[in-house]
Structure 1
């Protein structure tokens, strides 16, 4: 067997594989004998089918299989031995001028296109600067959080007249085009939250109502054609809700209002049971501290995104785009040309960043141990379990669940990549210069 490589350019090459009869005959004969021992054919006892009979009946298909296996093994060995960094997988280059007899005496020649990873240098240093935002809570965000807390611990009342943010417990009846009640039409009694009504004019028409008052309106317009919201209010399927065109009459049966809790000691103790908050000033300071603590994760995520963008801009990489597009098309045959072109840029950017990550890991000898992967998966599973139960799982049981989770190859690979990405992020944070900048939360949101 002979394998040669012809470099087209720095990113593309062609492998030519030449196979002689002596390269495959022994493999084929062995495969035929193995098949003969397993074959169950009429007129022959199990395991006693002559090899010549198997060769006559299935010889050509066995030859094809063994040539394919030999090709696969040979290509992988050649790539590994020559330390070729390939992208995707080798693509067979079709040559219609070549025809084979498949008669055990053929000399085969196959050509494969390779996409090669680009060579590039890393030069991250302290001269590289990125902002690291320390998020401060603005007055509007603070007031919104306090209002939500006061409502969460508030009490329900039933005022005589509806106001903004109230909930109307009402009967809704479908109307005919002439305004009369639609016979055998839709009717339902449900709660309608005024803050979910999207149309301003319709929401205003629902303010100032008393029990027994009625209003006619376009339900599709009220909820901005949101089939899910309409289906919930009418108690019908989303499919039916999407097709509705008629108007509805809403008749108020009751008005519910969630009154905000007073900013008193009883309320403070519900939020902070330890008794460390005794004044409104202390309460606001404590809520601000908690919110800003939560914002650290937002700041880290912003920095993570900025690091990736900065790295991709700094390290210029070229890819064998034409080859990769052919490979993607070959491995995803249901994808259209339009979908391929639309999604290729994101694919290419992710691939470039993976190449950068791998080089950082290799050049800086960053280790990713099983203990790191286990700890990451355990932390994720612990957070998921806590969503359903405030009581943490015993450590031994959590570890057992984590080990089972990682026995799934897809889960293990995904967690490994997450740990790798985090280690690269931590490395770059230690190399480049982070310029700390204070910013109010409402301004920070505008950056994203």
Structure 2
């Protein structure tokens, strides 16, 4: 067997493989002899079928199968030994009227080669690293929500300005019939609020759905319909009142603190505010880090310039899917996936150049940290190390879980690397301002 490589350009090459009969004949003959021993062909006793008939019936199929195995094994070995960094998989060149009886069988495979490039994280323009803080307004609103949530309901005779009203929304034509509880302060406009104010249990209020609530998303849950149907819905609905309540806020006392945070962990309103701030900013940090990861990714894709073997990759997409695509479909698919492929190559280079591979011991500790967080949500704050090791071993025996956790750990490693090496500027702002700036 002879394998050679023809370099077309920096991104494309052709591997040529010449296979002679010496490479496969012994193997083919051995398989055909086994076939001869076990073949059941009418007119012949088992094991006495003429070899000529065996070769005629099975010879070509066995030959093709063995040659394909040789090709696959030796091509993969060649790519590894030559350290060729290929994109996709080698594509066999089509050969019309191929002669399987020739003394030498010649095959050619097209290769798409990964480009050489450098990654520069120190761009001239700094990338914003957001630090989201929980301001006093947010903490005040959270405490107010908690006080209401853990407060008590006091029945009222008539609807007042800040009451909770239970009842049923209905509209026969739209098949709406949904029992719910609404807060009057969530109703939009004084006019709509006025339709409810002063009403009693048993009264029916007719309102228009368009612009009924301060937040549009509340309409779908109030009417018991999906958001798509609720969006832009402009009809009249009846609301039959079944109960009117005033929610009295709970006192900020030790009983409430223990109920919220565990016995004795918080002992004053000041400590409660500190805990709410810490918890909120912990959640905000995850959003800020995801934003940073997205922004650095976009920066690297936009500023790391290299060519790809686009023609080869388009052909590879066209030929290797579950169903063969047209050239136009493959071109469109390549266009959709190009940015993702570019980032995979950039990420791979960063990982290789900076030795960021995930080690098993790291993965195990990462899994144990994940387990501890999950257990803490169910009140198990100090699990034994032996228990964590046992659960982690069970999780890491599942390949899907290993893949998922490895991806999460690698994402964390990449984020830490970007924080240390990218050109970043820190911007501190409230969550409300963060949402406005990032999402518009």
The aligned counterpart of 1:410 is 400
Give the alignment's TM-score, normalised by structure 2. Answer: 0.78
Aligned counterpart in structure 1 of residue 309 of structure 2, from 290, 306, 320: 320
Cα distance in 1 for residues equivalent to 2:250 and 2:71: 75
Does the CA contact (< 8 Å) of 1:168 and 1:256 recur in 2? yes
The aligned counterpart of 1:353 is 343
The aligned counterpart of 1:23 is 23
Shift of 1:398: 3.6
Consecutive unaligned residues in structure 1, runs of 5 or more: 177-184
How does 1:295-306 map onto structure 2 within 5 Å?
295-306=284-295
The aligned counterpart of 1:121 is 118
Does the CA contact (< 8 Å) of 1:137 and 1:292 recur in 2? yes
Cα distance in 2 for residues equivalent to 1:195 and 1:50: 94
Give the alignment's TM-score, normalised by structure 1. Answer: 0.77
How does 1:107-256 map onto structure 2 within 5 Å?
107-124=104-121, 129-162=126-159, 167-171=164-168, 174-175=171-172, 190-193=179-182, 204=193, 207-208=196-197, 209-216=199-206, 229=221, 232=224, 249-256=238-245
The aligned counterpart of 2:432 is 442
Cα distance in 2 for residues equivalent to 1:197 and 1:45: 89
Cα distance in 2 for residues equivalent to 1:136 and 1:240: 36
Shift of 1:197: 8.7
Cα distance in 2 for residues equivalent to 1:227 and 1:203: 14
How does 1:332-371 map onto structure 2 within 5 Å?
332-333=321-322, 344=334, 347-371=337-361
Comparing 115-124 with 294-303, greater Cα deviation is found at: 294-303
Shift of 1:311: 2.8
Cα distance in 2 for residues equivalent to 1:71 and 1:164: 80
Q: Give the number of aligned pairs.
A: 431
SS of residue paired to 1:304: helix
Shift of 1:58: 2.2
Cα distance in 2 for residues equivalent to 1:20 and 1:207: 91
Cα distance in 1 for residues equivalent to 2:66 and 2:191: 73
Does the CA contact (< 8 Å) of 2:28 and 2:63 recur in 1? yes
The aligned counterpart of 1:182 is none
Aligned counterpart in structure 2 of residue 288 of structure 1, from 248, 266, 277: 277
The aligned counterpart of 1:377 is 367
SS of residue paired to 1:110: strand
How does 1:64-103 map onto structure 2 within 5 Å?
64-95=64-95, 98-102=96-100
The aligned counterpart of 2:11 is 11
Residues 276 and 386 (structure 1), Cα distance of their counterparts in 2 relative to 1, 3 Å cut:
closer
Shift of 1:372: 1.1
Does the CA contact (< 8 Å) of 1:169 and 1:189 recur in 2? no
Shift of 1:109: 2.7
Residues 385 and 99 (structure 1), Cα distance of their counterparts in 2 relative to 1, 3 Å cut:
farther
